[in-house]
Every structure is written in structure tokens, then in C-alpha cells.
Amino acid sequence: MAPLHHQLSVTGSFGELRPNHFHAGIDLRSQKGIEGDQILAAAQGFISKIKVDCKNYGNSLYIQHPSGYTTVYAHLSRFRPDIQERVRAYQYSIQQNEVEIEFGPEEFAVSPGDSIGYMGNTGDSRGAHLHFELRVTGTDEVLDPADFGLLAEDHIAPTVRRFKLCGFDLDGNTISERIIGNNSIKSKIMIQGDVFGMAVEAFDRNNTSWRMVGIKSLQMKIDHGLFYSWSMDRWSLDETKYINAHVDWRSQYLGRFHRCYKLQGNKFPIYRTVENDGFFYIGDGQEHLVELTISDASGNESSRSFTIQGTAFSKLVKPNQYPEEISCDKNWNYNFGFGTFELPSGCTYDNMKVRVDTVSNTSENAYSRWIGIKPGNEPLHRELAVAIRPEKEIPAPLMEKCFIGLKRGKSFVSIGGSWDHGAVRAGAKNLGYYALMMDTTPPHLVAKNFRYNMSGKKSMSFSMSDNIADITKNRPGIKYNAYIDGQWIVMQHDLKTHTLKHDFESWLGNGTHELLITLEDSQHNQSAYRYNFYY
């Protein structure tokens, strides 16, 4: 059954294109656009896991079913009362705000339609909704809930918005490319090049929401023969970064285009038909019919056809700006004098030519020049190992304050790092410019919803900040702890607004109390804030 009482309104589809990942479930909108809708168990089973996390899925709940599947309910504002009490007690017992708790079949059994929690906006969420997933129990394999009947009313066919038409030479070099709107495309198109490749920007809508969602499947025929096809049915979460090979990421600022050809490093399992990796020879100068069909989860389809013809071209001879070559199936190591780059096999989605550059670093916190790989911003499937040795002396007490910085325009962010044989080593998720940096500034706290007289108030909140953003996924960012009269208390962290919030406990007595909040950033810079308040 559906996990909500009201009519389903799907605002995010399975397999939808998202930054650096495919959407692994469906998003269901709240009835009134606000938090609080009751969330229901979709089938018989037991609650197997609870997670409280300021990132990712926020407050999430997992139900294991006898069918061999597990359903996931994410971004909840809170759990149902008995579960919420259990989570709160566990947080206090180990004095940790973010927790993961596993349960056995005998603890929280559920039947279809049982209340399990309330819709919210926790974690990486941008509005009140339920993120609902269907997984194969014991694995990270996700399936499309629509294939199990969880569908919104939908009689609207998907739409192709634009085509990106590319011509290549026989060596794979791009000769021509242009983006054409669906309404502007002609019945016959001349393509400069020996080989044709295409990408499409497409979306879907349903009858319950104005929002654009993703398509379910795509087929491309050439001269009436099926040439390239895929269907978003199932995959494993550890494969989701293959989106960077599936989409034409270089056109991401113009839109998200599905490639209708396959890069050699793309191992995503959704592809059904792939002839010649989706590249078609047009060097014969003949006309060829291209037919594209896209469909949504409800079976609605749209089709478009046109002919292409290859034309002669002059191959431009460009100076070799990129002397280094990276193969997607080989390790690549580079020593740049004051450090190294190490790129493991399977890290890139295609072979590429690069150049290693150094740039001066004028920051007062810098202990090396910027060292970069151009062209930058290339997404990586696995991390690039960056090791940088200091180019000037670092005082021993400040060694722990060092990290690898990633250049972002005129500023930079931290990708973390630790000392290893005289260098700071870190993992980078994108190609770019890196330097050895130092941070000695402690994080900062500002009272948001707090004053001396808190009598009758249900909660208090504060805003915390740091001078350098840490984008490392597995690092804590700012660590925080709070105490009232020396007793540790639970704080909820909203990463989107950098807000810490505490709901006053029933055991807090009337009178004057002392509040202590401690902060520590990734480079171990610490700060402490003390307040008195009356409750």
C-alpha cells in the first residue's frame, strides 16, 4: 500500500538525474506543502533500522519485509512517539546526536498502514516531502517502486526538450556539436564528421504535480534497427556515480542531457541495447533515419524522428596543450616535485589528455603553490590521491592544522587530509587545483532563538559557522556538544541552515541554568560558549 493517507503526488522519480547521483527512490509531496503528514508502513514487516543524520537522508527509517525487500522512509521530521523515545534514550546513553540503531523482528513489528513517523525536511532535503525507496534486503540494490504499483495519476507523455548532435572523427575527436530545440529540429540535419553521437534533454510530468521529473526509458533506432536503449529499473547504490558517464556533464550548465552513446568507463547496469557503444558511422555520405522514443513509469511515450547525413570536414591541427594521457583502465601516477598525484584504474569514465600546472598561492594560510590538473572539474568515479609536501617550514604545534585545499574561484574549500611521510594526503572527487593550507580559526556560534528568559519556551536554537567549508563526505565538519548544568543534551543539526536546536526535556526544572556549547572544526580548532538562562 501507499506510505501516505492522501493521494500520491510524485515530485521526484526513480532514476532522475541529480548532481553526482541517480535518484534512488521516489519523492512524495506533502498534502498541504508543510511538514507533519503521517507516514505509514507500506507492508507487513518490522522496523530494522533507524538513522539520525544531519546529512543525506536525515531522520530515516527502514522496514524489512518477509518478501525479501526493505522499504526506506527518509527526511522524516520525527518518528512515532514510542520510536522517538527509544531513539532519544539511546542518544543520551551514548551522548551522540547522530546515531544508527538496528532492531530485531521482535521489537517493532508493523502491519500495512501502521503509523511510523511524520513527513519532514531533514538531511539533504529542500522542502517537506517523503523520499521512499525499495531495496533488496541485505544489499544496496534499489528498485523502482513504480514497478510495484506505486504510481501517481499520469496521462501525460514525457517531452524531449533539446537534442545535442555531435560529429566525431575516427579518432574520437569532436568535430562539430550543436544543441537544437525539439521544436526547431529539421527533418534532415547535416552533421560534420565521420561518426555521429547524440544526447537528449528530456523530462516528464504527471497529473498530480507541475514539477518536472525524470523519464523511465529511452530507445534510439537508426535505419529502423534498435541501436541504443536503456531502462531505469534497478541498480546498486555504489554504482550511482556512473551518472557522470551517463550524462553529458560538460553541458550541465545548459541542461542535463542523457548521452545516447556509452563511454568505455561506464559500467552502469541499465543499458539493454548498445550497438557500437552508440556511435554511428556517417562517413558514407548517405542519409540515415534516427528514431527516438522515450517513456515514463506509467507507459506514456513520445517519439521523434529525423534524418542525418555526414558531410566533409577539415580536421584542425591544434598544438598539443595536454601532453599527459590518462587511460580509464590503467593507473596513473605523477610526481610534480613537491608532491604526487595517484589515480587508480577505473577512476575516469573515458581516456583523457591532461596537463599538470602550478600557480602561485598568495593566501597567508598557504604552505605550497597551487598544483592542478587541466582541464579541471572532470568528475571522477574513484578518488584521486593528492599528496603535497610543505614548501616552507611549518611550526610543529600547527601541523594538525594543515589540510589540502581545493581552489574554488578566488577562494578555496577543504578536502581534508592527514600527514603521511612528510606530506599531507587527501582524496579528491574532481580534478582541479590543490594546495597545502592551514586553518587556525575556531568555529563561531550565534544565538538564534535564545535569550535569558526562556520560561515557557519549547526549544532554543543557535547558528554555527566556520571560516573554511569542509566538503569531505566522511568528515564531521563542525563537531558540537551542549550541556545544561553539566549534563549533556541532544542537539538537532540542520545542515542547510547551520542551525543547532534543542527541544527542552521534561526533566529540566524551573530556575536559572547554565548552558555550555562546545565547537570543534575539522582542524581541531575549538571554541566554547557559555550562557545563563531562566526556565
Helix (H) or strand (E) holding 92: helix 81-94
480 and 362 in a common domain? no
What pLDDT was estimated at residue 22?
Answer: 97
Residues 121-129, mean pLDDT to the nearest whole number: 93
Which of these three, 278, 311, 344, is where a domain ends? 311
**pLDDT (tens digit per residue) in 351-372:** 999 999 999 999 989 999 999 9
Q: Give yes or no for residue 318 having a pLDDT over 90.
A: no
CATH assignment at residue 368? 2.60.220.30
What's the pLDDT band for 116 if we cut at 50, 70, 90?
very high
Pairwise pLDDT comparison (473 vs 244), residue with the higher score = 244
What pLDDT was estimated at residue 68?
Answer: 97
CATH assignment at residue 252? 2.70.50
Q: Give yes or no for residue 376 having a pLDDT over 90.
A: no
Tell me the residue range of the domain where 388 lies. Answer: 324-438
268 and 239 in a common domain? yes
Residue 1 covered by a domain: no
**In one letter, which amino acid is 348?**
T
What pLDDT was estimated at residue 317?
Answer: 66
CATH assignment at residue 53? 2.70.70.10
What pLDDT was estimated at residue 473?
Answer: 63
Residue 407 covered by a domain: yes
State the CB neighbour count (10 A cutoff) for residue 390: 18
258 and 169 in a common domain? yes
417 and 293 in a common domain? no
Question: Can you give the pTM of this predicted structure?
Answer: 0.93
Residue 47 covered by a domain: yes
Q: Quote the percentage of the chain above a pLDDT of 90.
A: 86
Please answer whether residues 70 and 137 qualify as being in contact, where contact means their C-beta atoms are separated by less than 8 angstroms: yes
Q: Kindly report each contact of residues 363-366 with a partner whose C-beta sits within 8 Å and lies 24 or more positions away, as own/partner.
A: 363/412, 363/435, 363/437, 365/437, 365/438, 365/439, 365/440, 366/435, 366/436, 366/437, 366/438
Q: What angle do CA 504, 510, 516 make, to 5 degrees?
A: 55
Q: What angle do CA 12, 304, 293 make, to 5 degrees?
A: 50
Residues 310-337, mean pLDDT to the nearest whole number: 86
Grid coordinates belonging to 281: 558511422
Q: d(Cα 220, Cα 2) in Å, to the nearest integer?
A: 34
CATH assignment at residue 468? 2.60.40.1220
What pLDDT was estimated at residue 250?
Answer: 74
Residues 72-100, mean pLDDT to the nearest whole number: 97
143 and 39 in a common domain? yes
Q: Give yes or no for residue 387 having a pLDDT over 90.
A: yes
**pLDDT (tens digit per residue) in 446-496:** 999 999 999 999 999 999 999 988 877 655 579 999 999 999 999 999 989
**pLDDT (tens digit per residue) in 50-64:** 999 998 999 999 999
Residues 113-129, mean pLDDT to the nearest whole number: 95
